């Protein structure tokens, strides 16, 4: 993660995102209830539609050495996704950025704040608390515990098959399985 402070643009209004709609649904249960109310598909979770339904602009472009970024510009939240990464990686990036919006975007000033992504799924001392929180919430959103458990109960125990079901990468499934305590090491 890199937090890039930009010089504020003139006449940029302050936007309190803590009062914005997308930030009022914070837990996985709240997010899923909201998605259902909006008619957004929840399995696999359609994170792009969820963002768009809340007015977030999604931009796909080439970003050197980054998976994506999230920023606020002219009172619009913009999530940029690296168009050269594969679709499952893009989905994780979108969920990761949604998590930043929910957890780390309070009281930002328009045009001055941006979080850029370089690394996903690392869970050691070198990755910051903010990134860990975003990865964890993203994995929960894409692979809720109750759905993960019910797939296991249905006998789907192969990492690749779980990844297909959730439409995420095998690496993302391993990360979630580790977080849920199903595997000892990630
Ligand atoms: Zn991040």
Label each residue of 45-75 as H, E or C. Answer: ECHHHHHHHCCCEEEEECCCCCCEEEEEECC
Distance 40 CA to ligand 1 centre (A): 24
Q: Give residue 32's pLDDT.
A: 98
Query: How far is 86 from 162, CA to CA, in rounded Å?
Result: 17
Distance 10 CA to ligand 1 centre (A): 27
Distance 96 CA to ligand 1 centre (A): 6
Distance 141 CA to ligand 1 centre (A): 15
Distance 28 CA to ligand 1 centre (A): 18
pLDDT band at 13 (very low <50, low <70, confident <90, very high): very low
DSSP summary character for residue 182: S
Distance 100 CA to ligand 1 centre (A): 7
Q: Inform me whether the pLDDT recorded for 80 exceeds 80.
A: yes
Q: Give residue 107's pLDDT.
A: 46
pLDDT band at 8 (very low <50, low <70, confident <90, very high): very low
Distance 153 CA to ligand 1 centre (A): 32
Q: Average pLDDT for residues 89-96, to the nearest whole number?
A: 94
Q: Give residue 130's pLDDT.
A: 83
Question: How many Cβ atoms are within 10 Å of 76's Cβ, its own excluded?
Answer: 12
pLDDT tens readout for residues 133-170 = 899 999 999 999 999 999 999 999 999 999 999 999 99
Distance 2 CA to ligand 1 centre (A): 8
- What is the torsional sign of CA 24, 28, 33, 37? positive
Distance 91 CA to ligand 1 centre (A): 13
pLDDT band at 74 (very low <50, low <70, confident <90, very high): confident
Q: Give residue 64's pLDDT.
A: 80
Q: Give residue 42's pLDDT.
A: 97
Distance 103 CA to ligand 1 centre (A): 11
Q: Average pLDDT for residues 87-102, to the nearest whole number?
A: 93
pLDDT tens readout for residues 113-133 = 566 664 445 545 556 788 888
Q: What percent of the chain has pLDDT above 90?
A: 58
Distance 114 CA to ligand 1 centre (A): 10
Q: Integer distance in angstroms from the first to the last C-alpha of the chain?
A: 20
Q: Give residue 24's pLDDT.
A: 87
């Amino acid at each position: 993660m890199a937090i890039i402070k930009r010089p504020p643009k003139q006449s940029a209004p302050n936007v309190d995102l803590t009062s914005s709609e997308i930030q009022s649904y914070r837990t996985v249960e709240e997010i899923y209830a909201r998605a259902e109310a909006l008619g957004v598909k929840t399995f696999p979770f359609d994170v792009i539609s969820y963002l768009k339904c809340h007015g977030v602009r999604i931009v796909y472009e080439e970003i050197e050495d980054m998976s994506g970024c999230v920023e606020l510009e002219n009172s619009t939240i913009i999530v940029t996704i690296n168009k050269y990464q594969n679709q499952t990686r893009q989905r994780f990036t979108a969920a990761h950025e949604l998590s930043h919006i929910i957890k780390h975007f309070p009281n930002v000033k328009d045009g001055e704040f941006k979080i850029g992504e370089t690394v996903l799924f690392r869970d050691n001392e070198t990755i910051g608390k903010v990134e860990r929180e975003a990865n964890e919430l993203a994995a929960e959103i894409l692979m809720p515990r109750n759905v993960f458990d019910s797939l296991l109960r249905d006998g789907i125990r192969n990492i690749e098959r779980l990844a297909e079901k959730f439409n995420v990468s095998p690496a993302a499934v391993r990360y979630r399985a580790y977080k849920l305590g199903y595997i000892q090491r990630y």
